């Protein structure tokens, strides 16, 4: 991809508020978007996320009443993704999930794994004070979900696929739906953010952004 093509793809990406519901993203293209999510970086490499791809239109209908930010997105997106973030019980330094990540995924030796766990314990308890509330650690996991979200949207744009991030939902109500209708264990996961993917129905409005000089300071 040339320098110009990179910037072009960032102009191509916009918050697509309504999709052409007759156009479906080919499976192999959507697989690339998911791969961008999977390969995203995360703090300590603990991947505190799970991706629900909601193809079932009845399930999307359930989301509609509590997702004010996606009234035209939910019914028209080719693919709709809910990014779940892990909660405290599976992110604590001594949880089974962290042990699984250290040994089964990263393949650390016992010595290296325990050194890493000790570092993570200090990070959680002291450096970032993540254990002060359930919300603090959940929000920390959510931050990382947003990295995956950004990568998914950027890669989609490179593939000429439109997208829109969706944060316009009622958190408590959506969690109830996750538990009752989506078989999500809400003790372990909450909704970080959602996103629709598909093909635009109309051209986007002109992009508005601050000037680079107003948001960047070079310290030399
Ligand atoms: C985390 C996040 C959540 C968002 N939530 C919504 C949403 O619920 N509904 C919506 O229509 N747009 C949503 N947006 C889109 C933003 O309003 C949009 O990205 C912003 O106004 C900049 O416009 P652009 O993306 O077209 O450049 C969200 C964007 C982000 C990054």
Domain map of the chain by residue range?
3-90+131-215, 93-128
What Å distances lie between residue 167 and 14, 17, 215, CA to CA?
Answer: 15, 13, 24
Which ligand 1 atom is at minimum distance from the Cα of 14?
26
Q: What is the DSSP string of 84-136?
A: EEE-HHHHSTTSHHHHHIIIIIS---HHHHHHHHHHHHHIIIIIS-TTS-HHH
| Cα–Cα distance measured from residue 140 to residue 130, given in angstroms and rounded to the nearest whole number | 8
Number of helices (H) and strands (E) in the chain: give both, helices first. Answer: 10, 4
Phi/psi class of residue 63: alpha, beta or left (left: φ > 0; alpha: ψ in -120 to 50)? alpha
Give me ligand 1 centre to Cα 69, in Å.
Answer: 9
Give, for all 220 residues of the chain, the pLDDT tens digit. Answer: 999 999 999 999 999 999 999 999 999 999 999 999 999 999 999 999 999 999 999 999 999 999 999 999 999 999 999 999 999 999 999 999 999 999 999 999 999 999 999 999 999 999 999 999 999 999 999 999 999 999 999 999 999 999 999 999 999 999 999 999 999 999 999 999 999 999 999 999 999 999 999 999 999 9
Which residue is closest in CA terms to ligand 1's atom 31?
165
| Cα–Cα distance measured from residue 120 to residue 42, given in angstroms and rounded to the nearest whole number | 13
Structure tokens at 105: 């995924």
Which ligand 1 atom is at minimum distance from the Cα of 208?
27
Q: Domain 3-90+131-215 adopts which CATH fold? A: NADH Oxidase (3.40.109)
Pocket, ligand 1, Cβ cutoff 6 A: 14-15, 17, 69-70, 164-168, 193, 207
| Cα–Cα distance measured from residue 177 to residue 170, given in angstroms and rounded to the nearest whole number | 11
């Amino acid at each position: 991809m040339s320098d110009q093509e990179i910037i072009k793809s960032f102009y191509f990406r916009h918050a697509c508020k309504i999709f052409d519901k007759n156009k479906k993203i080919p499976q192999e293209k959507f697989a690339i978007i998911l791969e961008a999510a999977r390969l995203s970086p995360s703090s300590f490499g603990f991947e505190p996320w799970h991706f629900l791809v909601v193809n079932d239109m009845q399930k999307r209908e359930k989301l509609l009443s509590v997702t004010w930010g996606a009234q035209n997105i939910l019914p028209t997106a080719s693919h709709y993704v809910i990014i779940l973030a892990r909660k405290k019980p599976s992110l604590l330094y001594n949880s089974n999930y962290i042990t699984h990540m250290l040994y089964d995924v990263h393949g650390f030796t016992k010595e290296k794994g325990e050194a890493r766990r000790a570092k993570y314990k200090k990070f959680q308890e002291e450096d970032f004070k993540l254990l002060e509330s359930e919300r603090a650690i959940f929000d920390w996991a959510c931050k990382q979900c947003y990295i995956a979200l950004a990568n998914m949207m950027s890669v989609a744009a490179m593939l000429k696929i439109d997208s829109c991030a969706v944060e316009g939902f009622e958190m408590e109500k959506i969690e109830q739906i996750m538990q009752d209708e989506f078989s999500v264990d809400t003790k372990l996961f909450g909704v970080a953010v959602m996103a629709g993917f598909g093909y635009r129905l109309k051209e986007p409005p002109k992009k508005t952004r601050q000037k680079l000089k107003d948001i960047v300071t070079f310290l030399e």
